[in-house]
Structure 1
């Protein structure tokens, strides 16, 4: 069983367009749970509205599951997977919507869940990848498919025994996957999406960053080597980031470490990267859109979108030229930053500038308990209504419109 997931805000129509993309041979909208909107776009917006009272800015959980060809009962395997998955994560009562995709003789299913309960509690997704892998191993066992290799195989076997599924655990041990070499994905789902969006191959970027690292001996040399390749180094939220030709930031420690591991199997420790870059004064990523005055590098790898001039404007942790001092080895900024008390004067401006949905969530959290209970009851009343198809009427996708059932 192949599964993938991504957590997000659900804003805009990108997710709805992805679910309804016409490149599939067939798209079948599945019956939603706890939602009344007649189309996928409206259902996702409804999920967002139902989640506004939760303490999270990523209330939407989008998943897909794709049974392997060796599983004959595709629909049965999917139904069993979703049942086990919902019990594993406590999603059995959560509203969701979704579609089935049929393409190249294979059928798989997407679902979009709300992670916020009516009480405002946010569902815990800790270790969600390994937990979904455990669900997949159970389905593979029950439907007679071979066990898929996983880097979490030992943790899955332990969890299965804790759940009382010794039968599946014994099958997993007998399959030999616990002793097999741990597979490493070339790209994570998020990295794959970034690569598709930017058009910058991540393997090429890693190779360029590693080459710059190996031909330099200090931070200044690394920065110069990156710029010769049409890249740049900036200060990000979690440390220095390598900025590619599209202006997209990649954490330097992760980029260099992953490149070295793929090149010769030896990972460069993050501490070694931080030590070499300690003391560098870097501009914050986002100043002049993460771009240096680098038109001279336009022909080099990854530099198609580089351009622009130096950034301007001082702020918290920046000097008069807009630069941000890199963190010292103990984690503090050499200039400014939280330890220096910088940025406090801008707190009110940042609060006012938050999106309207974030401000609404904050107001909902401040309501008295009785008001929250009334809101939850009103939402439950909408969910409980029964909906019926309107004869002869469809939406823009050709799907039947629905309306509340009239009770006589």
Structure 2
């Protein structure tokens, strides 16, 4: 059984997600405790019913997807929901949802209200492992193999505490309690980075590991990275490997994860730091990595070996330095100015094109808005302000009052 859940604010976007047309079939469920005729109205009603609770995330979106090998898909889902509601105390709580059919496989989404009628909020502590426990019970009941989980030992202990020794014994016999804990290929943050940059993280890891293994010292590692269109910079948490899009990846994590996936032995972070110690690295952002515009236009391609091709180094000079994406350096550091002082700001203003300076001057000289602001400021300045004896604000500072001018 595959399940997932997310707690949130609700809203029309959630309802539209449940109604997305990419599925072969969408069947809106009969809601419980709600009167709205459509799913968007039902989700709005769930949120409205939850206004009395002390939470800003009053709804719980849950989905369950039985394995293809389960012949009685509706029966497995019904049992899962029954056990799930008992586990979290959600029996009787209002919900709405939809059943999706995609490629001949059915799965179900439900959106629950987490606020009880008396205003208390449903306890979702350790919700992932609790949902995993429910899934193991259903898998056992429907003759399925136990799905591997890093929480297998904790689930087995909990099942015995609840008197479900039959399921606990089945789980123990499956070997999942002794198996090596599965490690996700990508963390949620890494998945988002990969989707944003379009650079496969596995390819990047492979390129970094190859550069590591063909080098003997820090300088050799840097050269090996550059031959693959990558670079090594100094980040906030240590050396970072910069890919063809200018995105930084912590070197210790990238090399260590690559080695673990390649041969099961992780290269310790201390070993990576020791090899790179003594290198003088430019800070990430000082020379802006690569030409982002070129990457977005598709001129930065990915190499079969994992890193960007030579085109990823577009903008580098013969010495390997990365050229600026704009000549006047006005948009350095991911769009933020490099200079932070008043002199830097004035220099940038003076360096602007004449037409831009003229437009700025006309805006400052402009009409009524500036005149009214100046008049209001003069009016405030012309008043006499005196402290009101014995009256202070919440910080203990005297409160002043406006005394009209006499004569």
- TM-score with structure 1 length normalisation? 0.58
CA contact (8 A) 1:55 1:122 kept: no
1:78 maps to what in 2? 77
Give the secondary structure class of the aligned counterpart of 1:3: strand
Residue 264 (structure 2) pairs with residue 265 (structure 1) = yes
1:139 maps to what in 2? 138
CA contact (8 A) 1:195 1:202 kept: yes
1:153, distance to aligned residue in structure 2 (A): 2.2
CA contact (8 A) 2:240 2:251 kept: yes
Q: Take 1:173 and 1:108, find their aligned partners in 2: how far apart are those partners?
A: 28
1:25 maps to what in 2? 24
1:265, distance to aligned residue in structure 2 (A): 0.6
Give the secondary structure class of the aligned counterpart of 2:185: coil
Residue 68 (structure 2) pairs with residue 69 (structure 1) = yes
Q: Take 1:225 and 1:218, find their aligned partners in 2: how far apart are those partners?
A: 11
1:156 maps to what in 2? 155
2:167 maps to what in 1? 168
CA contact (8 A) 1:5 1:64 kept: yes
CA contact (8 A) 1:216 1:225 kept: no
- TM-score with structure 2 length normalisation? 0.59
Pairs within 5 Å for 1:213-232: 213-214=212-213, 215=215, 217-218=217-218, 225=225, 229-230=229-230
CA contact (8 A) 2:3 2:131 kept: yes
Q: Take 2:40 and 2:234, find their aligned partners in 1: how far apart are those partners?
A: 37
Change (3 A) 1:252 1:48: farther
1:168, distance to aligned residue in structure 2 (A): 0.8
Structure 2 gaps of 5+ residues are 316-324, 327-331, 346-407
Larger RCO (CA within 8 A; separation ≥ 6) = 1
Give the secondary structure class of the aligned counterpart of 1:64: strand
Q: Take 2:50 and 2:276, find their aligned partners in 1: how far apart are those partners?
A: 41
Aligned-residue CA RMSD in angstroms? 4.6
CA contact (8 A) 2:233 2:281 kept: no
Q: Take 1:138 and 1:158, find their aligned partners in 2: how far apart are those partners?
A: 13
1:4 maps to what in 2? 4
CA contact (8 A) 2:59 2:113 kept: yes
CA contact (8 A) 1:232 1:291 kept: no
Q: Which segment is superposed worse, 216-225 or 77-86?
A: 216-225
CA contact (8 A) 2:88 2:122 kept: no
Q: Take 1:235 and 1:25, find their aligned partners in 2: how far apart are those partners?
A: 46
CA contact (8 A) 2:232 2:239 kept: no
Pairs within 5 Å for 1:1-400: 1-7=1-7, 13=13, 15-35=14-34, 37-44=36-43, 61-92=60-91, 94-113=93-112, 119=119, 121=121, 123-126=123-126, 128-187=127-186, 195-196=194-195, 198-214=197-213, 215=215, 217-218=217-218, 225=225, 229-230=229-230, 235=235, 244-245=243-244, 252-270=251-269, 282-283=283-284, 292-293=290-291, 298-301=300-303, 308=325, 310-311=332-333, 312-313=336-337
CA contact (8 A) 1:97 1:111 kept: yes
